[in-house]
Amino acid sequence: MQRDRSGPTVVDPAYDALDTFRRSAGLTREELWLRYFELGGMSTALELEAFLYGALVPTDHDHDVVAHALNERFVELGGNHPVPYAADGDRG
């Protein structure tokens, strides 16, 4: 069913990817924020959520703190570091 409802449309796959990684990592948005905060992230939980939704664009540094929080979770789960870093120039 199509809806004529305007809303933010995310066109940058990087943001969608971050939230997809969050779900694969089995983290709630709150838990991800705590982990991000723990690693030194400076944005609020609401801002982080906006990053995940693509409503706000994080700085590269902020993006990489989120990416690392996710990657540490993946390592806990026995994986590697699947989330790309902006610092590598491979974000998005």
> Which residues contact other proteins (rule: CB under 8 A)?
1, 3-5, 7-11, 13, 16, 27-31, 34-35, 37-40, 53-55, 61, 64-65, 68, 71-72, 75-76, 78-81, 85, 87
Cβ proximity of 66 and 36 under 8 Å: yes
Shortest distance (Å) from residue 65 CB to other proteins: 8
Cβ 41 to other proteins shortest distance, Å: 9
Shortest distance, CB of residue 21 to other proteins, whole angstroms? 14
Q: Which long-range contacts (CB under 8 A, 24 or more apart) does 38-41 make?
A: 38/69, 39/65, 39/68, 39/69, 39/72, 40/65, 41/65, 41/66, 41/69
